[in-house]
Amino acid sequence: MSTQELKATIKEMVVVGKGILAADESVRTAAKRLASINVESTEETRKRYRNLILTAPGNEKYICGVILFEETLNQKTDSGILFPKHLAEVGIVPGIKVDEGLAEFEGSIEQYTKGLDGLGNRLEKYKKLGCRFAKWRAVYHIAKDTPTSMAIKRNAQDLAKYAKICQEHNVVPIVEPEVLIDGTHSIDTCYKVTEKVLKEVFAALKKENVMINYTILKPSMVISGKEASNRANVDEVAKQTIKVLKATVPSELPSINFLSGGQTPQEATAHLNRMHTLNEKLPWYVSFSYARALQDPALKAWQGKDENIQAAQQAFLKRAKLNSLAAMGKYKADMEEMDLDVVMVR
């Protein structure tokens, strides 16, 4: 283990005004994204879409790291450079999703995450392709009887084992415990579940002797269920999210990079921005690691057509810029209606 290597990666990934792009959709998820614009999902169409996002000119101003899917590691930009190498050349740290998806837990709707077997060997392979950090996602369903204590504990233990293996191979782990937004639950219920989940995760990380100062947390926000009546507003989401983080997350953690988890791009940006305008002293950097909330506008602008590439890249860069501003508490809702060049001037 080389703490110098881990330290160098953290330094490049914790930069004020920058966040992490999640571009690690599985083949199945990528197919859903492409189907939304009536484009067939093939290795070539997925590569074309990744190329559009990853080569958007100037994205390194707002993005410090990109989580890639394994398929993307061996694909090349239109100019013939492997995607991880291209990212490194423009100053963005390449990373990799290493979990192998979800499996049924104890015969219920609950799930655990697969992928610990052979993880060390896979990390060495990914490192040779330029990856310097990894990501592992666990999910928690809020329903009448879930999540159970058993599921919370199992996922925490697996997240901690993954993080320990990563650090042993000089790879920075992103730990992603996602409390799902699906359901009718209130923000208060989400708070209680999130608190239990995060306490268990950090207890497990401590038990595995994971170095918290070389770890990044990718949590969900404390938010009402998508189907809830009287959903909590931006102010309440920001306050409850910061409250639960202060109650559970050690101060030595360098960065918290939220997932968007089913929020609209505008919601995800507004919530992040409000966290920075609460006048709360935050011991960690608080930023974003969005997928859909960064990519959706670009996908809609592209429509699978080469003539739309520039417009799609502009849409992506605008979203990245707005989230960069939000990570500094400088986002304003009226910026949504502005062109990218106007937003950049402000």
Nearest in space to 80 (alpha carbons), one of 55, 46, 53, 43 = 55
313 to 156, 157, 202, 267: CA distances (angstroms): 37, 39, 38, 21
Contact 267, 319 (CB under 8 A): no
Pairwise CA distance, residues 14 & 152, whole Å: 28
Q: Which residues contact 241 (CB under 8 A, 6 or more apart)?
A: 221, 222, 223, 271, 275
Q: Is 300 a catalytic residue?
A: no
Whole-number Å distance between alpha carbons of 163 and 193: 22
Q: For each of the chain's 346 residues, which pLDDT tens digit applies?
A: 779 999 999 999 999 999 999 999 999 999 999 999 999 999 999 999 999 999 999 999 999 999 999 999 999 999 999 999 999 999 999 999 999 999 999 888 899 999 999 999 999 999 999 999 999 999 999 999 999 999 999 999 999 999 999 999 999 999 999 999 999 999 999 999 999 999 999 999 999 999 999 999 999 999 999 999 999 999 999 999 999 999 999 999 999 999 999 999 999 999 999 999 998 999 999 999 999 999 999 999 999 999 999 999 999 999 999 999 999 999 999 999 998 887 776 6
Q: What is the pTM of this model?
A: 0.97
Q: What's residue 115's pLDDT? A: 97
Question: Burial of 12 by CB count in 10 Å (0-12 exposed, 13-18 middle, 19+ buried)?
Answer: middle
pLDDT for position 191: 98
- Note the pLDDT of residue 345: 66
C-beta atoms surrounding 339 within 10 Å: 10
Which residue, 124, 50, 55, is CA-closest to 86?
55
The residues pairing with 175 across neighbouring beta strands, listed in sequence order, are 136, 217
* Sign of the dihedral through C-alpha 105, 241, 214, 287: positive
Could you give the CA distance from residue 33 to residue 46 in angstroms, rounded to a whole number?
10
Catalytic hit among 25, 70, 110, 176: 176
Q: Decide: 220 and 258 in contact? Cβ < 8 Å.
A: yes
What single string gives the DSSP state of each residue in 118-154? THHHHHHHHHHTT--EEEEEEEE--BTTBS-HHHHHH
Residue of 97, 218, 318, 321 marked catalytic: 218
> Is position 218 annotated as part of the catalytic site?
yes
Residue of 112, 199, 211 lying closest to 166 (CA atoms): 211
**Structure tokens given for 160:** 């901690």
Q: Which residues contact 277 (CB under 8 A, 6 or more apart)?
A: 329
**Tokens encoding 147:** 């999540």
